[in-house]
Structure 1
Amino acid sequence: MNRFEAGVGQDSILEVRVKLVDSEPEIWRRFELRDSLALSQVHQVLQAAFGWEDAHLHRFITSHPFAPLRPVDGEIPEVPQWLPQQGCEEPGDKPEEDCSLDQLLALGHGAAFYEYDFGDSWLHRLELVSRRPADETSPPARLIDGARRGPLEDSGGFPGYEEIMDALDDPGHPDHLEYSAWVADLTGSVAPFDPAFLDIPAANRALAKLF
């Protein structure tokens, strides 16, 4: 069995690296995750670790959702996506509650995508790094490394987020005061906003509350 195949008859801990596609500098997280986590639970893990507010729609996909599709026998193939059960409306929609992390990564040959907020389209790429047997002390989810905090909710994708960061960095920017007040209201803090800061212990405390 290679590292991309689902484990059979054993519980495993998967080391999974998740990055925000097109982030520069790269925004990423490295997790240890139990292979049996349902995608609905993985959604909660990613929300907590990237600082999202779970205020928008999301989905899981095995391939890049915006890459051109090659026709098969003259037809564009239907790409399955995993959504909350109540959001499944199309023939290719599958309940995220019924699919495990291990199954998704096996279908994607070791990689998959998670899209959050179909307007801002925050696209996360999940990559299986390694697998090891689980033991009784292994938590279901643990953040072991990463870089930079997640972008601000409802900031307009990376172009909007970068515009906000530029305004915050420049007291002479015409929108500096407006964006400073907006960020303070959003974060609940008047402290200077540092996009490079990542509090791994705080993220792990949030993850521990999920299980």
Structure 2
Amino acid sequence: LQDFTGENIFSCRAVQLKITLDLSEQHNVWRRVVVPLHMSFYGLHRVLQKLFGWWDYHLHEFYVYSDETVKKSENIFNIDRPASHRKGYKPVVNIVDDEEAFDYKDDDLPVMLNSVKLSEYLPEYGRMKYIYDFGDFWEHYIELEEVIDDYDKYHPICLDGAGNSPPEDVGGQDGYDSFLEIIADENHPEHENMVSWGRSQGYESFDLERVNRFLKLQA
């Protein structure tokens, strides 16, 4: 039909996002992706899992931020660590995947993950944070780069990226640094065991084509 009409038979509104995994300065782990705005935040969660090689073992949540920053006269400590933004932006909503979150959240920010479309907050707001694994506490900062009015795919596409993601359950930033140090040292007594463990946890180099195959399959 597309060949017959000479036009795309499907188009939708989408956004281009850059997602950066918040690690220490020696690391540079990021992905750039286009996602349709009709996707839910649960759908975006699944996309992020594929982009960074996570296995969806753990709880997760999103924060959406306004352009307003915390003023000097305000007490920054009133915003707990998960809700805080590294540049001081104020959270607008906390999108959670577990109803139990409503029991321990003190504010009126939480809403359920699967009930919210991206279009409810994007592109009005251009900053978000995705937290995965409340133990290792991986923070992914999300920036809206572009709005695409005539996106002609039914699935997300990863455009670019750099850096390898940490393996699951490595122990957060400190554990990841230790892991990298050991696998880089062939003389370390734990070298072989750590390399084997990393392989079992899916630790591998970022592969753009492989990621896009997964994104298309899960659409």
Q: Is it true that 1:22 corresponds to 2:38 in the alignment?
A: no
Alpha-carbon separation, structure 2, partners of 1:89 and 1:25: 34
Alpha-carbon separation, structure 2, partners of 1:37 and 1:71: 38
Q: Is it true that 1:147 corresponds to 2:158 in the alignment?
A: no
Verify the 8 A CA contact 1:13 1:132 in the aligned structure 2.
yes
Alpha-carbon separation, structure 1, partners of 2:72 and 2:64: 15
- Greater strand proportion: 2
Q: Is it true that 1:84 corresponds to 2:93 in the alignment?
A: no
Q: Is it true that 1:199 corresponds to 2:207 in the alignment?
A: yes
Alpha-carbon separation, structure 2, partners of 1:58 and 1:26: 22
Q: Which runs of 4+ in 1 moved over 6 A?
A: 67-73
One-letter amino acid matched to 1:41: G
1:122 Cα deviation after fit: 0.5
- Aligned counterpart in structure 1 of residue 176 of structure 2, from 145, 151, 161: 161
Alpha-carbon separation, structure 2, partners of 1:87 and 1:201: 37
Residue aligned with 2:187, SS: coil
Worse-matched range after superposition: 110-119 or 76-85:
76-85
Verify the 8 A CA contact 1:85 1:94 in the aligned structure 2.
no
Alpha-carbon separation, structure 1, partners of 2:184 and 2:118: 39
Alpha-carbon separation, structure 2, partners of 1:96 and 1:69: 29
One-letter amino acid matched to 1:114: Y
Verify the 8 A CA contact 2:65 2:126 in the aligned structure 1.
no
Aligned length: 190
Q: Is it true that 1:56 corresponds to 2:28 in the alignment?
A: no
Residue aligned with 1:31, SS: strand
Aligned position for 1:7 = none
Residue aligned with 1:62, SS: strand
Aligned position for 2:116 = 99
Alpha-carbon separation, structure 1, partners of 2:172 and 2:47: 21
1:86 Cα deviation after fit: 3.9
1:36 Cα deviation after fit: 1.6
1:168 Cα deviation after fit: 0.5
Aligned position for 2:128 = 112
TM-superposition CA deviations, 1:31-82 (whole Å, max 9, x none): 0110121000000000011100000000001249xx9897869x94795411
Verify the 8 A CA contact 1:88 1:94 in the aligned structure 2.
no
Alpha-carbon separation, structure 1, partners of 2:110 and 2:15: 25
One-letter amino acid matched to 1:92: L
Alpha-carbon separation, structure 1, partners of 2:199 and 2:29: 22
Verify the 8 A CA contact 1:62 1:105 in the aligned structure 2.
no
One-letter amino acid matched to 1:205: R
Q: Is it true that 1:181 corresponds to 2:196 in the alignment?
A: yes
Alpha-carbon separation, structure 2, partners of 1:60 and 1:70: 25
Unaligned runs of 5+ in 2: 1-10, 84-90
1:97 Cα deviation after fit: 1.5
Alpha-carbon separation, structure 2, partners of 1:199 and 1:20: 16
Residue aligned with 2:157, SS: strand
Aligned position for 1:40 = 42
TM-score relative to the length of structure 1: 0.78
Unaligned runs of 5+ in 1: 1-9, 188-192
